[in-house]
């Protein structure tokens, strides 16, 4: 009997030039391949993307347009299952349409009697009570539910889902490896490189002004250089330019940009060469942790705090009342105590990296045992 081949549709926030969400996709694809090979299952992923051509070229997978119902229907009808995730898909902080969209994809798969797997999602915030019942109804019929933090599990239990149905696993990006040979890190031999991942958030830009002031202080007190790492193009590049302008012209010679990087493993390589990372983007912090790079979090969303909590850390400040002094203080402490930080965090980071493949392992096991819902 040959190796079974299973077509799996993957639903998420893909094709939007967001390095963090693209990293989630790349991590899921690599984990499925690895776990499939271990358990004798060949997976054929079909990704729902807003830019299916680019997704197919980048990852070498089939892809259909996420907003064309006919294409989504055909993909699910011809599939053996659906992965919903990862990322922060079920939240209404950024608008009310997000939760109905992702639940509609899940319900369509269930109507077609396809097994559905919730893959390391970050659930919430969910401000509209009516969505609680919708989420509970859809999730009750899923094969398994994995979320990336205890807070997401707590929210799901508040919707009425039994706690024993929900497993907490790391964000899938914790398991993403570097591509090819790891880059040689010269940080210990030459000047320190500080990676900076920023985004627009508050209308008055006070959080970016605080980061600019903190970076100026750090550069005044060290011989470090800074490298801006835009995770969501083009908006993060514009936010990075704003920070540099706020710092003033005297610092421009000590700053550089990672230009036009789209593939997540290329951005991971950039982060790996940093001595420290100051990040607003969740996945910039996850990239840093995965490469044992000390990080300073600037929290604009509970998911930042939730991830840092898993490493026994706290954000230096929040966008609500951003403190340049706190960012600079934590950054300078980590620059001088980098070795100690790595020794202290190594066990927790290794554990998260090892556990990140758990959802893919469960999916491969499901199909290796010949299960289906038909």
pLDDT tens, residue by residue, 293-336 = 999 999 999 899 999 999 999 999 999 999 999 999 999 999 99
Residues 202 and 270 in one domain: yes
3-state secondary structure of 48: strand
Residues 99 and 30 in one domain: yes
pLDDT category of residue 186 using cuts at 50, 70 and 90: very low
Q: Is residue 33 part of a domain?
A: yes
DSSP assignment string, 174-199? GGPPPSSSPPP--TTTS--EEEEE--
pLDDT digits (tens, 9 = 90+) for 43-52: 999 999 999 9
Q: Is residue 184 part of a domain?
A: no
Q: Is residue 187 part of a domain?
A: no
Residues 139 and 281 in one domain: no
Q: Is residue 142 part of a domain?
A: yes
Q: Is residue 197 part of a domain?
A: yes
Q: Which residue has the tokens 């951005």?
A: 267
Element (H, E) at 84: strand 81-87
Residues 86 and 16 in one domain: yes
Residues 147 and 249 in one domain: no
Q: Is residue 181 part of a domain?
A: no
Q: Give the model's pLDDT for residue 162.
A: 97
pLDDT digits (tens, 9 = 90+) for 130-166: 999 999 999 999 999 999 999 999 999 999 999 999 9
Residues 155 and 266 in one domain: no
Q: Is residue 115 part of a domain?
A: yes
Residues 23 and 164 in one domain: yes
Task: Note if the bond before 234 is cis, omega within 30 degrees.
Answer: yes
Residues 222 and 122 in one domain: no
Q: Give the model's pLDDT for residue 188.
A: 43
Q: Give the model's pLDDT for residue 117.
A: 98
Report H helices in the chain. Answer: 19-39, 52-59, 69-77, 98-111, 130-139, 150-158, 206-221, 235-247, 264-272, 282-290, 302-310, 324-336, 338-355, 358-368
CATH of the domain at 48: 3.40.50.2000
Task: Look up the domain containing 305 and give its range.
Answer: 193-352
Residues 238 and 344 in one domain: yes
Residues 149 and 293 in one domain: no
Q: Give the model's pLDDT for residue 260.
A: 83
Angle between helices 130-139 and 150-158 (to 10 degrees): 100
- Please check whether residue 197 is in contact with residue 231, taking contact to mean a CB–CB distance below 8 angstroms: yes
Q: How many domains does the chain have?
A: 2
- Using CA atoms, how far apart are residues 138 and 327, in angstroms rounded to an integer? 41
Q: Could you tell me the pTM of the whole model? A: 0.90
- Using CA atoms, how far apart are residues 32 and 357, in angstroms rounded to an integer? 8
Cβ neighbours for 167, distance < 8 A, ≥ 6 positions apart: 144, 145, 146, 147, 358
Q: Is residue 178 part of a domain?
A: no
Residues 281 and 364 in one domain: no
- Using CA atoms, how far apart are residues 134 and 145, in angstroms rounded to an integer? 15
232 DSSP 8-state letter? B
Residues 93 and 11 in one domain: yes
């Amino acid at each position: 009997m040959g190796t079974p081949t299973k077509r799996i549709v993957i639903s998420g926030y893909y094709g939007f030039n967001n390095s963090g969400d693209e990293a989630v996709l790349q991590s899921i694809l690599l984990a499925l391949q690895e776990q499939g090979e271990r358990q004798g299952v060949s997976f054929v992923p079909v990704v729902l993307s807003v830019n299916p051509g680019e997704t197919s070229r980048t990852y070498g997978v089939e892809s259909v347009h996420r907003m064309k119902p006919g294409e989504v229907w055909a993909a699910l009808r011809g599939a053996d299952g659906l992965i919903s995730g990862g990322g922060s898909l079920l939240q209404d902080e950024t608008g009310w349409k997000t939760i109905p969209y992702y639940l509609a994809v899940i319900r369509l798969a269930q109507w077609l009697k396809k097994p559905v797997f919730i893959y390391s999602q970050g659930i919430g915030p969910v401000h509209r009570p009516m969505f609680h019942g919708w989420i509970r109804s859809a999730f009750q019929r899923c094969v398994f539910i994995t979320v990336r933090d205890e807070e997401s599990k707590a929210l799901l239990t508040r919707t009425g889902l039994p706690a024993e149905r929900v497993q907490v696993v790391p964000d899938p990006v914790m398991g993403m490896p570097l591509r090819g040979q790891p880059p040689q890190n010269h940080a210990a031999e030459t000047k320190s490189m500080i990676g900076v991942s920023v985004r627009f958030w508050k209308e008055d830009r006070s959080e970016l002004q605080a980061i600019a002031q903190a970076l100026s202080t750090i550069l005044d007190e060290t011989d470090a250089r800074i490298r801006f790492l835009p995770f969501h193009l083009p908006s993060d590049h514009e936010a990075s330019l704003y920070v540099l302008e706020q710092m003033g012209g005297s610092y421009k010679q000590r700053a550089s940009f990672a230009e036009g990087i789209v593939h997540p493993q290329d951005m991971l390589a950039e982060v790996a060469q940093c001595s420290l990372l100051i990040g607003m983007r969740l996945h910039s912090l996850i990239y840093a942790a995965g490469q044992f790079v000390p990080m300073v979090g600037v929290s604009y969303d509970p998911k930042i705090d939730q991830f840092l909590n898993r490493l026994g850390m706290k954000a230096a400040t929040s966008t609500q009342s951003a403190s340049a002094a706190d960012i600079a203080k934590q950054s300078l402490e980590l620059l001088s105590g980098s070795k100690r930080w790595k020794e202290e965090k190594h066990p927790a980071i290794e554990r998260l990296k090892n556990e990140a493949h758990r959802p893919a392992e469960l999916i491969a096991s499901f199909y290796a045992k010949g299960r289906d819902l038909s």
